[in-house]
Amino acid sequence: MPFLITDSAVELLMDTVPALKLCHFRGTPKHDTVYAYLRCYIVKGALHFSATCFDEAPLATTRFALALCPAARTDCYLLFSLCKSGENTLCVLDSATGVPLQTLSAPPARVVTGADEQGAYWCAESKISAAAFTAAFGAVPKAGMVYAGNVFLYDTAEAAFGAAFPVPQGEKAPTAKGFDTFTIVPY
C-alpha cells in the first residue's frame, strides 16, 4: 500500500499528516527494538519531515534515515540520515552498491526530546530542499508524482535494523532493496 505525502501551498503541523511506522525488523539490535516513525509533507518542492524515535538514550552510532527517488529511477537514490545530536548527511547513493555519488547540503536538524504515554522519545525535524531534489534528479516532487523509498532506523556499528517496508534477507540498511511506493497528493 503506498504511503501518501501531502503537497501543500503552506507549511503544515506535523501532527496533521500521516505517520509511516517502522514495522519490519531484521535481527535484534543490541540496544533493543525501538518504535519509530516518519511524518512528512511537501511545500514548494521541499520535503519537510519529522523523525520520531522512542529511545531516551540512543547510541551515538544510531541513525534514522529516509531514502527516496523518483519511481522511474533505479540507478540512484537520495538518502537523508540523521542522529539525536542533530548531525545529518544528505547524499545521492548508487542503488546497486550504496556508494555515495554526490553530497548535498542540508540544513541542521532541530531536535526535541520529551515523553508521552509511549515513553521517552527524541524527534528531529528538517527538510530536503527543492534545490537538493533538482541537483539529484532534475525536478522537484509535486502532486501527482510517485517516488520509491524506505525509512530506516539502524546502528552503523551492527547489522540489525528496522524499516518501514520489508527488506530482503542478507541486505544491510540503508539499501535500495525493498523500496515501496510514496505517492504525492494535493492538499
The reported pLDDT for the residue numbered 8 is: 98
CB 150 within 8 A of CB 164: yes
The reported pLDDT for the residue numbered 1 is: 78
The reported pLDDT for the residue numbered 59 is: 87
The reported pLDDT for the residue numbered 27 is: 86
State mean pLDDT over 121-129.
95
Q: How far is the C-alpha of 48 from the C-alpha of 142, rounded, in Å?
A: 13
Residue 24: how many CB atoms within 10 A of its CB?
15
State mean pLDDT over 125-134.
96
The reported pLDDT for the residue numbered 118 is: 86
What's the pLDDT tens digit per position in 14-64?
999 999 999 999 988 777 778 999 999 999 999 999 999 998 888 889 999
State mean pLDDT over 141-162.
95
For residue 182, name the pLDDT band (cuts at 50, 70, 90).
very high
State mean pLDDT over 100-118.
92
For residue 70, name the pLDDT band (cuts at 50, 70, 90).
very high
Neighbouring residues of 147: CB distance < 8 A, sequence distance ≥ 6: 5, 68, 69, 70, 71, 141, 181, 182, 183, 184
Residue 186 has pLDDT above 80, yes or no: yes
Task: Report if pTM > 0.75.
Answer: yes
